[in-house]
A and B are shown apart, each in its own frame.
Chain A
Amino acid sequence: MKTPFARVRGLGTAHSGTEHFWMQRLTGVANLPLIIAFLVVIVSLAGSSQASVIARLSNPFIAMILLAALISVLLHMRIGMQVIIEDYVHTELRKIALLMINTFFTLAIGIAAAYAILKINFGL
């Protein structure tokens, strides 16, 4: 039994449900231009020296694009991997452990990449 108010909010007894679906669409849309921009930057740097890589990534516009891409991609890939884990891992303890590792991995990638980008821009 669903009250009209709950129906309006789109929520059932679980009180949630569509956040991941929506976040995956939102970040998917954001990923499109951001990844294309990322590809352009990376391909243009193929075989470049460290100096030219640093010069390119020190461009404020490029640095901000990379950070935006990082955030969008991390949110997207964390949900994607969570779905895979929930689909294939049915042992409760193992599932919880893997879901934790998924979050930790995503955060570690984000922190390391952001650290490197910021260091290139401010710390060298």
Chain B
Amino acid sequence: MAEPRINIDRPLSPHLGIYHFSITMAMSILHRITGSALYFGTLFLVWWLLAASSSAKQFDIASAFFASWVGQLVLFGYTWALLHHMLGGIRHFIWDTLHGLEPGEREFLAYATIVGSVALTLVVWTLGYMLKA
């Protein structure tokens, strides 16, 4: 493909560094980060499924990893990323209906996303450990 790129010092439009921090900005960035984490985290799911479908030895190796503190940390982070991305998605659906875009509403939705995702993650893990016990 042709690349018609000439290096001329043109004025740049405002970029990331020029904006001060806002909670909506943070949630936007987190939505992308959690999405990426979920993308690569599918490797863990595939590993677990393949291990379960292959042999007892393979399943034990995978189980040992997920039961270790590193594995538990990965799963805890994955749970949070999943729930945060899910709530972020619901926030986008609300915006798609042209609701929740006013000042104050945006910030409320942003805080609801982070508080909700942390709370739901703790609920899921509490339930998990209660079921396991």
**CB-based contact A116/B49 at 8 Å:** yes
Min CB distance, A120 to chain B, in Å? 5
Residues of chain B within 8 A of A44, CB atoms compared = 131
Q: Which residues of B contact A68 (CB under 8 A)?
A: none
Q: Which residues does chain A contribute within 8 Å of B39, judged by CB atoms?
A: 77, 80-81
Please tell me if the beta carbons of B86 and A77 are within 8 angstroms of each other in the complex.
Answer: no
Whether a CB of chain A sits under 8 angstroms from the CB of B28 is no
Residues of B contacting A29 in the complex (Cβ-Cβ under 8 angstroms): 93
Complex contact A39–B82 (CB within 8 A): yes
Q: Whole-angstrom distance between the alpha carbons of A123 and B127 in the complex?
A: 32
Min CB gap B119→A, angstroms: 15
A residues in contact with B52, CB < 8 Å: 50, 53-54, 57, 116, 120
Total number of B residues with any Cβ neighbor in A under 8 Å: 34
B15 to chain A, nearest CB (A): 13
A98 at the interface (CB under 8 A from B): no
Residues of A within 8 A of B35 (CB): 77, 80-81, 84
Q: Could you tell me if B127 and A43 are in contact, using CB atoms closer than 8 angstroms?
A: yes
Write out the residue numbers on chain A whose beta carbons fall within 8 Å of the beta carbon of B1.
92
User: Given the interface contacts A25-B96, A53-B52, does A92 sit within 8 Å of B3 by beta carbon?
Assistant: yes
Q: Decide if B59 touches A109 in the complex (CB within 8 Å).
A: no
A112 touches B50 (CB 8 A): yes
Whether the pair B50, A77 counts as a contact (CB closer than 8 A) is no
Residue of A35, A50, A113 ringed by the most chain B CB atoms within 10 A: A50
Q: Which A74-124 residues have C-beta < 8 A from chain B? A: 77, 80-81, 84, 92, 109, 112-113, 115-117, 119-120, 123-124
Q: Which residues of B contact A123 (CB under 8 A)?
A: 53
Give 24 CB contacts A-B under 8 Å. Answer: A28-B92, A29-B93, A31-B86, A32-B86, A32-B89, A39-B79, A39-B124, A43-B127, A43-B131, A46-B131, A47-B67, A50-B59, A50-B60, A77-B42, A81-B39, A84-B36, A92-B1, A112-B50, A113-B46, A116-B46, A116-B49, A116-B53, A120-B49, A120-B53
Q: Which residues of B contact A (CB under 8 A)?
A: 1, 3, 32, 35-36, 38-39, 42-43, 45-46, 49-50, 52-53, 56, 59-60, 63, 67, 79, 82, 86, 89-90, 92-93, 96, 124, 127-129, 131-132
A residues with a Cβ closer than 8 A to B are 25, 28-29, 31-32, 35, 39, 43-44, 46-47, 50, 53-54, 57, 73, 77, 80-81, 84, 92, 109, 112-113, 115-117, 119-120, 123-124
